[in-house]
Amino acid sequence: MAKMTSPSDMMKAVSENMKERTGKTLEEWVRSVQEAGLDALDQKAVRDWLKTEHNIPQNSQWAIADAAARAAGWERPSVEAYIDSQYQGEKASLRPIFDKLREIIEGLGADVVVEGRGGYTPFVRKRQFCAIQAATKTRVDLGLRFREPPDSELLKTSSLPGQSTHKLGLGSPDQITEKVRELIRLAYEQNG
C-alpha cells in the first residue's frame, strides 16, 4: 500500500520545487505578496492575484498563499476547529447529520484520514473519496468520488464538494439509509 501523503507533506514538496516551477523561491513569493500590498490573510485574493498576474500553477498558489498568511500571523486551525466552524449558527442543527456520516466513513477502515478545509470536510484514503459540506441551513451535501458510478436515483452528477463526481443531499440523520451507506462504501472501495 502506498504511503499516505498529508497536506503538510504535499505543501512541503511544492515549496521545495517552487523556484523550479515559478522562477522564485517561496520566501521571494511571500515578499512579493507583501510588496504588492495584498491582505495576506485573504488567501483567496492572494491565490487569485498569483493566478491572474503571474500564471502560477494551482498547488504553488496554495503554498504561497498559506506561507504569506502564516508570515502575517495566521495559524492553521485544527481539523476539529474547521469542522466546528462549519456547523455554527444557522447550520448548527446539521451537526448530527455530519457526525453520523463521519462515524460511518471512519468506520470503513483505519486508512481513512479526515482533513480540514474551510468550506467542507474531505475524507481521504489514497485519494479523496468522500466530502461533507453544510450546503444550506437545511441540507448537508455528501460528495462521493466514483471511477465507475453506480446506477442510483439518490445521486446527482457534481464536481462539488471537494473532488466529488456525484453528490446527494441529506436533511436529517434518518435519511442516512442502508443505500447511502452502500454508496459510501463503494466510493471507499473505488479509491483504495
Domain boundary residue, one of 18, 41, 71: 71
169 and 111 co-located in one domain = yes
Say whether 187 sits in a helix, a strand or coil: helix
Domain boundary residue, one of 22, 52, 71: 71
84 and 30 co-located in one domain = no
- Domain count for the chain: 2
Instruction: Give the pLDDT score at 164.
Output: 95
For residues 130 and 188, the answer to whether their CB atoms sit within 8 Å is yes
156 and 91 co-located in one domain = yes
Is pTM beyond 0.85? Reply is no
Q: Is residue 1 part of a domain?
A: no
Q: Is residue 121 part of a domain?
A: yes
Enumerate residue ranges in the chain where pLDDT < 70.
Answer: 1-11
Distances 69 to 24, 42, 66 between C-alpha atoms, Å: 18, 8, 5
88 and 52 co-located in one domain = no
